[in-house]
Structure 1
Amino acid sequence: MNTQKTVRQEPGTVKENALRLDTGKAEQIVEALNADLANAYTLYHQLHKHHWNVEGAEFLEVHVFLQEVYEDVEDAADELAERLQALGGVPHGSMTTLAEHATVEVEDENVYDIRTSLSNDLEVMGDIIESYREHVELADSLGDYATGEMLREQLETLEEHTHHIEHYLEDDTLVLESATQ
């Protein structure tokens, strides 16, 4: 490992940016986006865990669906981090820091039935949706319409996935409980 270390920017700092957004305004947006980034990685890992552990008659469909969702969440996280950097901030990059700054509750290590897992995903997604709405308002109020638009697009995708999970959790199914009924 290279022993020479040159720190270009410390975490928690915001430098001037080429986007010409006032540093004070950028600081507020960077803080909000870093929370969104931490939440995205929390959701990503939870969805991935459920993708690995899903079982049952609907295994393949749910397995594929969860992969689509966690890939979208990962893409959103990348977009958030790049926007943070463009605004002059430092995106959270370590697992410890991400865990410390997530505002959503992390599911434990247990493996749950898929209905419980999807319910837990729905809860985290709902919290993230609420946070995104607040951060869209913040960005717009500070004149950062590009960040607001980025968050709106991510919000739309997340809401669509949330709606699909809501359908998975409905009581109606084509799968029979037992052949003796």
Structure 2
Amino acid sequence: MSAQKPIRQQSDSVVKNPLRLDEQKAKQVIDALNTDLAATYTLYHQVRKHHWNVEGAEFRDIHLFLGEFAHELEEAADEQAERLQALGGVPIASMQALADASPVTPEDENVYDIRTSLHNDMEMGGDIIETMREHIKVTTNLGDHATAHMLREQLLELEEYVHSLHHYLEDDTLVQ
């Protein structure tokens, strides 16, 4: 590993931001966004795992759906990280810090049948939806309407994917 350079900003610090959100308010928003970032990456990695391991008659459709879902989660995480950096914070990035900050727990490393995998994704997505709704309230109450708007848009996307997962898990199918 190369020699360490001087630190430009401590990971848990908040600096004055060009968006003119009070530093105390920004700290609360940054904490919420880092939680959302950790949750989003946790779901991203689980969905990507299922994308890699899906098999069966409906492989292609589910594989493509999960790939698209993972891509949307990755974009949401990027947007969350860039927003919290703009607010004067530092996005958490190490695997350990993400795991520690995540309000959701991924399934283990084993490969499960696709119904179990999709159910696990749907449940984790539902848990994240609840957290995001709370963070929308927090950011709105703190006067950070731009972050609240971003989270609302991400919430809508996540709800659509979770709703689609629910449809995949219904009993009606053409496959016998």
Query: Scaled by the length of structure 1, what TM-score is found?
Result: 0.96
Q: Name the structure 2 match of 1:76.
A: 76
For residue 3 of structure 1, report the CA deviation from its aligned partner: 1.9
Output the CA distance in 2 between the equivalents of 1:88 and 1:127. Answer: 27
- Partner AA of 2:158 in structure 1: L
For residue 22 of structure 1, report the CA deviation from its aligned partner: 0.3
Output the CA distance in 2 between the equivalents of 1:53 and 1:103. Answer: 25
Deviations 1:23-57 (A, max 9, x none): 00000000000000000110010000000000111
Q: Name the structure 2 match of 1:179.
A: none
For residue 146 of structure 1, report the CA deviation from its aligned partner: 0.1
Q: Counterpart of 1:158 in 2: which secondary structure? A: helix
For residue 2 of structure 1, report the CA deviation from its aligned partner: 4.0
Q: Counterpart of 1:9 in 2: which secondary structure? A: coil
Q: Indicate yes or no: 2:16 matched with 1:16.
A: yes
Query: Scaled by the length of structure 2, what TM-score is found?
Result: 0.98
Q: Name the structure 2 match of 1:39.
A: 39
- Partner AA of 2:90 in structure 1: V
Output the CA distance in 2 between the equivalents of 1:103 and 1:133. Answer: 14
Q: Indicate yes or no: 2:118 matched with 1:121.
A: no
1:45-60 equivalences in 2 (<5 Å): 45-60=45-60
Output the CA distance in 2 between the equivalents of 1:170 and 1:139. Answer: 36
Output the CA distance in 2 between the equivalents of 1:71 and 1:43. Answer: 11
1:15-164 equivalences in 2 (<5 Å): 15-164=15-164
In the alignment, structure 1 segments of 5+ residues that lack a partner are 177-181
- Partner AA of 1:153 in structure 2: E
Identity of aligned residues (%): 62
Report the count of equivalent residues: 176
Output the CA distance in 1 between the equivalents of 2:2 and 2:92. Answer: 22
- Partner AA of 2:91 in structure 1: P
Output the CA distance in 1 between the equivalents of 2:93 and 2:127. Answer: 22
Output the CA distance in 2 between the equivalents of 1:77 and 1:2. Answer: 28
- Partner AA of 2:75 in structure 1: D
In the alignment, structure 2 segments of 5+ residues that lack a partner are none
Q: Name the structure 1 match of 2:175.
A: 175
